[in-house]
Each structure stands twice: as structure tokens, then as C-alpha cells.
Amino acid sequence: MSSAPITSIGIDFGGTSVKLGVCRDGELLCTDTPIPTANFHGPAALIGEMAARVAKLRETYPDIAAIGVGVPGLVDFEHGFVHILTNVPGWKHVPLKALLGEKTGLPVVVENDANAMAYAEFRYGAVRGLHNVVALTMGTGIGGALILDGKMYRGSNCAAGEIGQMSIHFDGRAGHYGNLGALEKYTGNQQIAEHALQRYAEAGIVKTADDCTPKSIAQAAQAGDDIARQIWDEVADWLGTALSSIAWLLNPDAFVIGGGVAQAGDLIFDPLKRKVQSMLSTVVWEHLKIVPAHFSNEAGIIGNAALAADSLQS
């Protein structure tokens, strides 16, 4: 990766909108107006619109050499084939790499969105220069991705990194797949809210769900609310249990954590680090970093653009 920087397009394909941007060496040169996903029925129409946008961007940036697309679902990376996007009607068995490549004449890589975000952090963000990285995105669910031995690790069916489905209790709450003790049934945003409502109720305090978003609980804790602090400690215990298991298994350099929970800052990172340290040997803990993500909304565009650019150099 020592050659001259490559200009590439990153496309962040979400359930509600498709965001496009032009990048060079991790720098976002421009973003395009998002495409509302629902305005284009089926893959053909949406891919046509993507190609039109790409053509327009190439007028301004004629050196664009590749396109990276991140999609919210299961893909076959090698073939750039989308198996299924649960939240986008009609997206099932779509050879996205082939179709978009044909329409644009550019090399295309197709990646899972969590992997693309992790790659942005690995190449240009909070864990730049590290070798073994575990990335988490905390929201309604918990997504994850792995960079191992300096490369994206995808697993045998491009399905690796499902940290939210890992069990933290062999007899615990059932996850989406009937998997007992699924982490995201404890530390997903909704589960944190429910837990917070219960803790406040136990203390005789009436709160609404709006008071119990990660952001609101963080504000309450910062304002000196002991219950709110205790909630973060409990979230840290659950999340830290999963992270320590991953650390024992993979002995990584770093965890990088994005999403709503990560925005609570030290309120979550301090007890989380204490918990993980308490669960590890010195050797595994010593060099381990647990850091918030550097990128937020632009992570998808930058990561996909980087994957596309790097694919030309590998």
C-alpha cells in the first residue's frame, strides 16, 4: 500500500438512504445528496441511479478508479453477491458487483456495512496501524467486525463478527435465533432503556422511555444521578464479559466501539476497562486498547472507498 493514493467512491447503502462520497487516502473529498432507498423499487432501478451518480461524480473527479459498496446484510465478498438485505424490499440474490461494474465500467467491491466501518477505523481512524482489531457498533442491535493479522476477516460464509449474538449467560435471555444469553438482549439500546426504567422504578422514580436513551442516561449520569451511573456500570459488566471472552480467544490489539452507547464516553469506557481488566491475564490485558470510534456517519463511505482503493493494490 505504498503506491500513490487512489481516488475511489464509497457507497453506504442503508435501509432508508444510499449515501455516496469521493475519497482519497482516507480523506472525504465530497459527498453527494443521499438517494432515498424507497424511491427506487427493486435493485435494477436503484443500481441505475447509483451508476448515474457515479457518472456525475466522475465529471468532477476523473481519476476515480474504483467503487466500494457497503450493504446492510449478508454478502459474498469474493463474488460481490448480495444474498439478502432484510430491510430493503426486493434485494435478494443480487449480483451487485457485476451489475454496478457493468454499468460504470469500474472495479466494484461489495462489503457488509459493519466490516466497511471497521475498515475505516483500521485504515484511517482510531485503530490505525494496529494489526488485530475487533470493532463493535452499538445500537438497536450490536454489529461487529474483525481485522486479523492486518486483514479483514470474514469467516467461512462472510458471516463473522456477530458479536451481538454471542452468549454472556448459558441460561439467559433468548436472542433473535433462540440463542440464550445473547449480548444484544442486554446491551442493545432498547434493552438498556428497559433496564433503566426498571432500576428507576425500583427507586420509586417515574421515567419515560425517552429519558432512557443512551444519550439521556449519559446526561443524567453526568448531572450526578447515581442510578444512571449504576446503569452504565451494569452495561459495562455485560459488555465487558463479552469483550473479555473475545480477548481470551483472539488476543487482539484493540476494541474500537461506535454507536450510541460509545457516545457516553468515560461513563461507559471507564467501568468497561475496569471490568475487562478484571477478567484477563496480564499478558492479554497489557497492550489491549479499548477506544471509541473516530468516525461516525462518514465511516461507511470512507471504509467502502478504502476497501475499493486497497483492492486495486493488493
Residues that bind a second copy (CB under 8 A): 74, 131-132, 144, 146, 148-149, 151, 153-163, 165-171, 177-181, 237-238, 241-242, 244-246, 248-253, 278-281, 283-284, 286-287
Which one, 22 or 138, has the nearer CB to a second copy? 138
Nearest to 280 by CA among 238, 255, 251: 251
CA 284 to centroid of chain Cα atoms:
24
Q: How far is the CB of 160 from a second copy (least distance, A)?
A: 4
**Cα distances (Å, whole numbers) of residue 239 to 143, 196, 232, 261:** 13, 16, 10, 11
List, in sequence order, every residue forming a beta bridge with 134; answer none if it has no partner.
146, 255
Which one, 12 or 113, has the nearer CB to a second copy? 113
Show Cβ contacts of residue 281 under 8 Å, excluding neighbours closer than 6 positions.
none
Show Cβ contacts of residue 73 under 8 Å, excluding neighbours closer than 6 positions.
82, 83, 84, 85, 86, 87, 88, 91, 112
**Cβ(134)–Cβ(57) below 8 Å:** no
Q: How far is the CB of 243 from a second copy (least distance, A)?
A: 10
Q: Which grid cell sits at 243?
A: 469483550
Which one, 68 or 252, has the nearer CB to a second copy? 252
**Cα distances (Å, whole numbers) of residue 275 to 37, 88, 139, 244, 249:** 41, 38, 21, 8, 17
Q: How far is the CB of 214 from a second copy (least distance, A)?
A: 20
Which one, 35 or 136, has the nearer CB to a second copy? 136
Q: How far is the CB of 131 from a second copy (least distance, A)?
A: 6
Q: How far is the CB of 91 from a second copy (least distance, A)?
A: 16
Which one, 21 or 161, has the nearer CB to a second copy? 161
Which one, 181 or 214, has the nearer CB to a second copy? 181
Q: How far is the CB of 279 from a second copy (least distance, A)?
A: 4
